[in-house]
């Protein structure tokens, strides 16, 4: 009898571990010009506006939709804080993306210029649309428009 109870308890705990969501702390930081960004902690030259707990995991429409179908490509260069912010945002939403470093690749520079009309990073390509710079709201809206609603 004791083994059955232990087995049932262990099975229940495992089920909870794999279905439970958890929260991460996100710092909303602002610079002197009022631009806000999201980090684990505020970088130099910014101050903390608000700290939020964001739920990660659990049951959501993104669990049912294969997010790799979004076909997200991020054009970057190695030392680019704004590029890092886009990466952090995409990772926070569990969005898989391909990163293309245009710093030393003339073909990628040409490809980027054809897409966005200029040689500037970051550029996030989501399906048939692109976003220059770090426009979290626009990136989020494009992603949300492509992910089917939960049934």
- Provide the domain limits for residue 121: 59-151
The CA dihedral of 51, 132, 34, 27, to the nearest 10 degrees, is 10
The CA dihedral of 85, 86, 89, 93, to the nearest 10 degrees, is -160
Same domain, 72 and 105: yes
Same domain, 75 and 135: yes
Angle at 50 between CA 34 and CA 88, to 5 degrees: 80
Same domain, 36 and 93: no
Q: Domain holding 107: CATH number? A: 3.40.30.10
Walk along the chain (151 residues) and give the pLDDT tens digit of each residue: 444 434 333 334 444 444 444 556 777 878 888 887 777 788 888 888 887 766 555 544 445 678 878 899 999 999 999 999 999 999 999 999 999 999 999 999 999 999 999 999 999 999 999 999 999 999 999 999 988 776 5
Quote the number of domains for the chain: 2
């Amino acid at each position: 009898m004791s083994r059955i109870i232990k087995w049932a308890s262990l099975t229940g705990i495992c089920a909870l571990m794999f279905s439970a969501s958890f929260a991460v702390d996100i710092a909303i930081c602002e610079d002197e010009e009022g631009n806000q960004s999201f980090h684990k902690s505020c970088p130099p030259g910014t101050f903390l506006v608000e700290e939020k707990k964001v739920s990660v995991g659990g049951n959501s429409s993104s669990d049912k939709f294969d997010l790799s179908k979004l076909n997200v490509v991020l054009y970057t260069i190695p030392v680019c804080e704004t590029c890092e912010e886009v990466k952090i945002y995409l990772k926070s939403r569990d969005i898989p993306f391909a990163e293309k470093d245009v710093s030393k690749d003339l073909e990628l520079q040409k490809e980027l210029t054809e897409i966005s009309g200029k040689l500037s990073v970051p550029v996030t390509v989501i399906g048939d649309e692109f976003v220059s710079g770090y426009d979290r709201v626009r990136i989020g809206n494009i992603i949300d428009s492509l992910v089917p609603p939960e049934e």
